[in-house]
């Protein structure tokens, strides 16, 4: 079996036992990227030189019996919205095309400390706004199972690179399903931790009360391995939870006895693809065979989740993205072109006898702000900025934003009541398998509904995991979503591992 076919845990065993070297592992994945990524386009940038230098350093320390970190020699791909000192961090946007942060995000800092080999930066929907990866300012990523299909978003590159064997581990972010949804559509395992479990310091913000960083890998074991490294309190993040993280990998083999799983009544209605429903229900039968008790529950306010999310998230986005003005950093429009446009408009108004209007034209600075943002942001980002600015404007704040916050509380209360009856909530991640590139790109509302089953966990701040549970007749992966009470990632991972111990969906790979 080649190195790229091994799980992260298996690779680590070989590295620690001396059966292979970090340079060999890095070279194997870099070679795979060269062979496959021209089709899939999961990476925005690959750091071959840096990866091999880091791998050589790990090998040298191992030979000298010096201590190495828990991920020593394992390649990790990082979504391109986590700051890395001196490295391009674009968020899939032209407005940050030349941005090189002066510091590391906490997650990148922890990965470096764990001796992970940071192999490259993965493609994403611009500023994490999208569910298909088609909103990247650079190019769309394709699904390794069918190159005509989307990989999901916004962490589409992070999921696709793992599915295609181009990295054993990757880091994504989840604001409304952006880890779980692409994990489901690409047939890998992805975890959205509890809000505050993983530091957001150095994460370029989309919606600050919803964003959460998390791991993607082939198996729950590998997800636990990566979560062990990145989780934990960070005093630099005011929203970081000041609570210790349990040893996720060490406890994952312990089965859960007396497990109570709830199926959400509202998730099995019109719009759910029959193949997805069948795969999810069969997964629940697997859990029943393992001793779990399945019961039906209700989340009555879940039907308002998408509407609530698409008020709160754009409001926060419009505030967070106001900083990109072309002055401090980011794209700045050509000043000579701004001067020329201003003078042209002024001359036209004077020639038309409208001298007063000519004097009222925006000055050069205002024009620079407007042109820089117009040139730097893509259509979806502009749409969400405008939605958010409108909902926060005078006369509409109470009607939209304040009301959305109240509904958000009701959604969280639904979960609190449900978890008095069950230990986990199970259901679909997406209503359908992956759809074709371009199929929904002209219909924003249809694209927003892709997040129907995932946004509630972000609104409530809960952890959720997606794991492969079947395939469609066309050979596209289907994902099972498990959700747990706050800070119960350990329960999610143990339950996911139980399922993967008796099924092989996670072991299947796209045809070459």
Q: At 186, which CATH number?
A: 3.90.1300.10
Across the chain, which has 512 residues, the per-10-residue mean pLDDT values are 94 97 98 98 98 98 97 98 97 96 98 98 98 97 98 98 98 98 98 98 97 98 98 97 94 94 94 97 97 97 96 97 88 78 79 75 76 93 96 92 97 98 98 96 86 97 98 98 98 98 97 86
Question: Which residue among 93, 105, 154, 472 is the active-site one?
Answer: 154
**What's the pLDDT at 326?**
86
Residue 454 lies inside a defined structural domain of this protein: yes
**What's the pLDDT at 361?**
63
**Domain's final residue, options 376, 401, 433:** 376
Range of 340's domain? 332-376
The distance of Cα 206 from the centroid of its chain, to the nearest Å, equals 11
Question: Which residue among 93, 155, 173, 178 is the active-site one?
Answer: 178
Phi-psi region of 73 (alpha: psi -120 to 50; beta: other; left: phi over 0): left
Instruction: Let me know whether 7 and 110 are in one domain.
Output: yes
Identify which of 290, 222, 283 has the alpha carbon closest to the alpha carbon of residue 256: 290
Its sign, for the CA torsion 408, 410, 411, 416, is positive
Q: How far apart are CA 472 and CA 468, in angstroms?
A: 12
Instruction: Let me know whether 267 and 361 are in one domain.
Output: no
Residue 308 lies inside a defined structural domain of this protein: no
Residue 155 is among the residues annotated as catalytic for this protein: no
Instruction: Let me know whether 189 and 43 are in one domain.
Output: yes
Phi-psi region of 50 (alpha: psi -120 to 50; beta: other; left: phi over 0): alpha
**What's the pLDDT at 43?**
98
Residue spans of beta strands (DSSP E) within 164-247: 169-173, 189-192, 213-217
Residue spans of beta strands (DSSP E) within 326-476: 424-428, 464-471
**Domain's final residue, options 324, 350, 376:** 376
Question: Which residue among 79, 110, 192, 440 is the active-site one?
Answer: 79
**What's the pLDDT at 228?**
98
Work out how many domains the chain is built from and give that number.
2
**What's the pLDDT at 369?**
84
Instruction: Let me know whether 106 and 67 are in one domain.
Output: yes
Residue 178 is among the residues annotated as catalytic for this protein: yes
Residue 243 lies inside a defined structural domain of this protein: yes
What is the DSSP-derived secondary structure letter of residue 263? E
Instruction: Measure the N-to-C terminal CA separation of the chain; round to a whole number of Å.
Output: 15
Residue 512 lies inside a defined structural domain of this protein: no
**Domain's final residue, options 361, 376, 391:** 376
Please tell me the pTM assigned to this model.
0.95
Residue 81 lies inside a defined structural domain of this protein: yes
Instruction: Let me know whether 61 and 20 are in one domain.
Output: yes
Residue 317 lies inside a defined structural domain of this protein: no
Task: Please name the residues in contact with 416: beta carbons below 8 A apart, sequence gap of 6 or more.
Answer: none
**What's the pLDDT at 360?**
66
Q: How far apart are CA 361 and CA 373, in angstroms?
A: 18
Residue 79 is among the residues annotated as catalytic for this protein: yes
What is the length of the chain? 512
Residue 455 lies inside a defined structural domain of this protein: yes
Instruction: Let me know whether 297 and 338 are in one domain.
Output: no
Instruction: Let me know whether 365 and 478 are in one domain.
Output: no
Instruction: Let me know whether 125 and 17 are in one domain.
Output: yes
């Amino acid at each position: 079996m080649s190195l790229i076919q091994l799980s992260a845990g298996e690779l680590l065993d070989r590295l620690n036992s001396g059966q292979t070297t970090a340079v060999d592992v890095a070279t194997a994945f870099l070679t795979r990227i060269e062979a496959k990524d021209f089709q899939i386009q999961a990476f925005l940038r690959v750091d071959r030189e840096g990866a091999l230098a880091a791998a050589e350093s790990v090998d040298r320390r191992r030979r000298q019996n010096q201590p190495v970190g828990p991920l020593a020699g394992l390649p990790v791909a990082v979504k391109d919205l986590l700051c890395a000192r001196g490295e391009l961090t674009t968020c899939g946007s032209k407005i940050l095309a030349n941005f090189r942060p002066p510091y590391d995000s906490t997650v990148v800092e922890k990965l470096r400390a764990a001796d992970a080999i940071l192999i490259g930066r993965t493609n994403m929907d611009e500023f994490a706004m999208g569910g298909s990866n088609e909103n990247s300012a650079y190019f769309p990523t394709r699904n390794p199972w069918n190159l005509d299909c989307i990989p999901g978003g916004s962490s589409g590159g992070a999921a696709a690179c793992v599915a295609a064997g181009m990295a054993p581990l990757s880091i994504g972010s989840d604001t409304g399903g952006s880890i779980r949804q692409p994990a489901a559509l690409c047939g890998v395992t992805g975890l959205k931790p509890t809000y505050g479990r993983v530091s957001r310091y150095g994460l370029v913000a989309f919606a600050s009360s919803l964003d959460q960083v998390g791991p993607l890998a082939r198996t729950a074991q590998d997800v636990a391995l990566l979560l062990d490294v990145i989780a934990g309190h960070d005093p630099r993040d005011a929203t970081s939870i000041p609570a210790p993280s349990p040893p996720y990998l060490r406890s994952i083999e312990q089965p859960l006895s007396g497990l109570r799983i709830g199926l959400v009544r509202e998730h099995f209605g019109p719009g759910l693809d029959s193949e997805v429903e069948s795969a999810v229900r069969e997964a629940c039968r697997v859990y029943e065979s393992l001793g779990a008790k399945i019961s039906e529950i209700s989340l009555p306010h879940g039907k308002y989740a998408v509407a609530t999310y698409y008020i709160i998230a754009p409001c926060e986005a419009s505030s967070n993205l106001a900083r990109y003005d072309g002055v401090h950093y980011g794209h700045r429009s050509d000043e000579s072109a701004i001067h020329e446009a201003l003078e042209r408009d002024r001359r036209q108004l004077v020639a038309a006898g409208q001298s007063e209007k000519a004097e009222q034209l925006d000055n050069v600075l205002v024009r620079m702000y407007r042109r820089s943002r117009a040139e730097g942001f893509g259509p979806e980002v502009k749409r969400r900025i405008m939605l958010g600015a409108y909902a926060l404007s005078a006369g509409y704040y109470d009607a939209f934003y304040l009301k959305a916050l109240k509904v958000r509380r009701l959604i969280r209360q639904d979960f609190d009541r449900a978890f008095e009856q069950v230990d986990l909530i199970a259901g679909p991640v997406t209503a359908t398998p992956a759809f074709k590139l371009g199929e929904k790109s002209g219909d924003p509302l249809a694209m927003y509904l892709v997040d129907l089953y995932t946004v509630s966990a972000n609104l409530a701040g809960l952890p959720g995991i997606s794991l492969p549970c079947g395939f469609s007749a066309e050979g596209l992966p289907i994902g099972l979503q498990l959700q747990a009470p706050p800070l119960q990632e350990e329960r999610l991972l143990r339950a996911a591992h139980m399922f993967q111990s008796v099924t092989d969906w996670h072991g299947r790979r796209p045809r070459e």
